[in-house]
Amino acid sequence: MSHSQTHTLPPPPGSQTMEVALKIWRFDGRTGERALKTYEVEAPDWATLLDVLDIIKDRVDGTLSYRKSCRMMICGSCGMRMDGGAVLACKTRMWDIAQSGHVPVISAMGNLPIVKDLVVDMEPFWAKMRAVQPYVQPGYEVPPDGKEHRISQERMNVVHKEALCINCGCCVSECNSMEADPDFLGPQALAKGWRFVGDPRDGAKIDRLEELNSEHGIWDCTRCYFCQERCPKGVDPRDAIAKLGAESIKQGIDHDMGAKHAKWFVKSAETTGWLRETELVPKTQGVISAIKEVKFALKLFRHGKVPPPIPPHVAENVNEARALHELVRTQGREGALGIVQGEQALARIEPLDWGGASRIAPEESRQ
């Protein structure tokens, strides 16, 4: 069943109104006071969450604060949380929610300091974006005729998805690693990082990759995929981070333990068809570290959590894993070109809307 078939179709726009209730976390930055307040208003059937907030501000409480500008999913101003997950308010239609009787809880985005009500301080977000130098550093000769440097769409497709980012912060709001380490560069800055590392016109690729492999960089991502789930534009930042990792290894930038682990898992899958985690420590951190971990490893073994390392367990169909490895090698897809999740993610964006934003709304996709 297609996604659209699972929902009550709204009536023709403007033909009726609906009663909408919201619970909104209010916050006063000067006093630090927080309060959950309920609002009930009548709204047109086509109203989005942003429209409902506008009605509340106009008719009920003019002190309610939130950001907005374009009202059409372009400017990235209206990121906030609905029921604990980040959404763009202007993309979130309220018809189904109001009809179900559910009263959603609206709050400010996570991982950024709250200034007032639903407004967060975006400066930490911009600082991380600035840190990845989000502009092309030309690495090509200027054409002798003085005309523009032309490049094919095919070559630019490598960074097409990442170029769709509208800097809304919804991914940052839900990032697990940023919650644990506020200095982690985070999904938006890293997606922007790939936007320029992958740009065929850029001449600073290696320097950029070195920088992104430092502390608080790509290998600190825990792969929770919440950024992917919450991005309203189909950028899928986790894919971009995977591309940065693969490209770093391809370029020999593999000093981080995360890169060493990734390399070992590829080797392990190729040789046995399994991820042999018991050999991870000796293969990536050396014998001394492995000896220090022996007690812990024995404990895992006694509880049946890991298989014995000797003899190595080889999968019955290991040839399939080896053939796949060979295919990637012969096709020259060792780096970012070998990351296929992006292709799957693109399938979730409606075909006629690649420049727009009609990817299935995250708040709907949970149903």
Q: Decide if residue 26 touches ligand FES (CB under 6 A).
A: no
Instruction: Please say whether the beta carbons of 217 and 209 come within 8 A.
Output: no
Please list, in sequence order, all residues whose beta carbon lies within 8 angstroms of the beta carbon of residue 183, skipping any fewer than 6 positions away. 216
Q: What minimum distance in Å lies between the beta carbon of 326 and ligand SF4?
A: 29
Taking the least distance from each CB to ligand FES, the nearer of 76 and 198 is 76
Which of ligand FES, ligand SF4, none does residue 52 bind to, with CB < 5 to 8 Å depending on kind?
none
- Nearest in space to 238 (alpha carbons), one of 230, 227, 247: 227
Phi-psi region of 199 (alpha: psi -120 to 50; beta: other; left: phi over 0): beta
Q: What minimum distance in Å lies between the beta carbon of 290 and ligand SF4?
A: 28
Which of ligand SF4, ligand FES, none does residue 88 bind to, with CB < 5 to 8 Å depending on kind?
ligand FES
Taking the least distance from each CB to ligand FES, the nearer of 18 and 53 is 53
Please list, in sequence order, all residues whose beta carbon lies within 8 angstroms of the beta carbon of residue 296, skipping any fewer than 6 positions away. none
Which of ligand SF4, ligand FES, none does residue 248 bind to, with CB < 5 to 8 Å depending on kind?
none
Which of ligand FES, ligand SF4, none does residue 191 bind to, with CB < 5 to 8 Å depending on kind?
ligand SF4
Taking the least distance from each CB to ligand FES, the nearer of 15 and 69 is 69
The span from the CA of 158 to the CA of 201, in Å, is: 12
Instruction: Please say whether the beta carbons of 322 and 270 come within 8 A.
Output: yes
Which of ligand FES, ligand SF4, none does residue 71 bind to, with CB < 5 to 8 Å depending on kind?
ligand FES
Binding pattern for the stretch 75-94 against ligand FES, x by CB under 6 A and - elsewhere = xxxx---------x-x----
The span from the CA of 157 to the CA of 155, in Å, is: 5
| Cα radius of gyration (the chain) | 24
Q: What angle, rounded to 10 degrees, do the helices at 257-272 and 237-250 form?
A: 80
Contact residue for ligand FES among 37, 46, 57, 74 (CB under 6 A): 74
The span from the CA of 338 to the CA of 319, in Å, is: 19
Binding site for ligand SF4 (CB under 6 A): 165-171, 174-177, 187-188, 191, 221-227, 231, 233, 235, 237-238, 241
The span from the CA of 241 to the CA of 178, in Å, is: 14
Which of ligand SF4, ligand FES, none does residue 90 bind to, with CB < 5 to 8 Å depending on kind?
ligand FES
Using CB under 6 A as the criterion, which residues of the chain lie in contact with ligand FES when the complex forms? Answer: 68-71, 73-78, 88, 90
